Structure 1
Amino acid sequence: MRGNESRKELQLVSAGSGCSCCSHEPTESLAATRGTEYALEGLTCSHCVVTVQRAIASVKGVEAASVDLVPGGRSRLVISGSAPREAVRDAVASTGYSLVPR
């Protein structure tokens, strides 16, 4: 299915605003802007996305973060700011997920 994958980009939401996978409003993603990209393994739903986003938001140097969810595949994390890779890796690992090694 390479090249013909169907992917749905899910909006990152705050804890009080409900589930992003049910939202029908168009979203703007940081993935469209410049930033450092990382591949993630293990994410399966919007709850996973929110968990990683919260952990990444606490890393010193992160200005903004966006996760493009690919359930069962390699999701994409885009971070703007000056956070070191090691800090990003540790934050992702603290949530039970992992960065894909380069």
Structure 2
Amino acid sequence: MCGTETRTELLLAAPEQCGCGCCSTGARTTTPPAARGPVYSLEGLTCGHCVQTVEKAVACVDGVESATVELVAGGTSRLAVAGTASADTVRAAVTGAGYSFTPGQ
């Protein structure tokens, strides 16, 4: 660029301050599911994208006011649903998104 340097160096956030659990090495805090409404146990979620996929799918169900997932990567995550939607319609939304309820739910 004509011999002049006009670039500004940008500071990058430390990995522990950003990214999902599968992309960063630091501890990540999660928001627990909402206290009201039924809570379901889910399997197959591994990162923040999985959480968003499930929350969006369940939020589109008639009767759902909110859907919040507490991620346990590689383990049993929890889905809290506020509203009047039935467990069967919530299950259909979760399985339609590619994830599954734990046995017994």
TM-score (norm: length of structure 2):
0.68
- What SS does structure 2 have at the residue aligned with 1:44? coil
Query: After the TM superposition, which segments of 4 or more aligned residues of structure 1 sit over 4 Å from their partners?
Result: 26-29
Could you say which residue in structure 2 is the equivalent of 1:9? none
Higher helix fraction: Structure 1 or Structure 2? 1
Which structure is larger by alpha-carbon Rg, 1 or 2?
2
Which whole-Å CA distance do the structure 1 matches of 2:46 and 2:40 have between them? 16
Which whole-Å CA distance do the structure 1 matches of 2:79 and 2:40 have between them? 5
* CA distance 1:73–1:27, shift in 2 (3 Å): closer
Q: How does 1:66-81 map to 2 (within 5 A)?
A: 66-81=68-83
Root-mean-square deviation (CA, aligned residues, Å) is 2.1
Which whole-Å CA distance do the structure 2 matches of 1:96 and 1:82 have between them? 23
Note the residue ranges of structure 1 that are not aligned, 5 or more in a row: 1-18
**Percent of paired sites with the same residue:** 54
Q: Out of 9, 24, 40, which is 1:38 matched to?
A: 40
State the aligned residue count.
80
User: 1:42-65: CA deviations, max 9, x gaps?
Assistant: 000000000001100110110011
TM-score (norm: length of structure 1):
0.70
- What SS does structure 2 have at the residue aligned with 1:33? coil
* Residue 27 of structure 1: how far off its partner (Å): 7.4
Matched, 1:64 2:66: yes
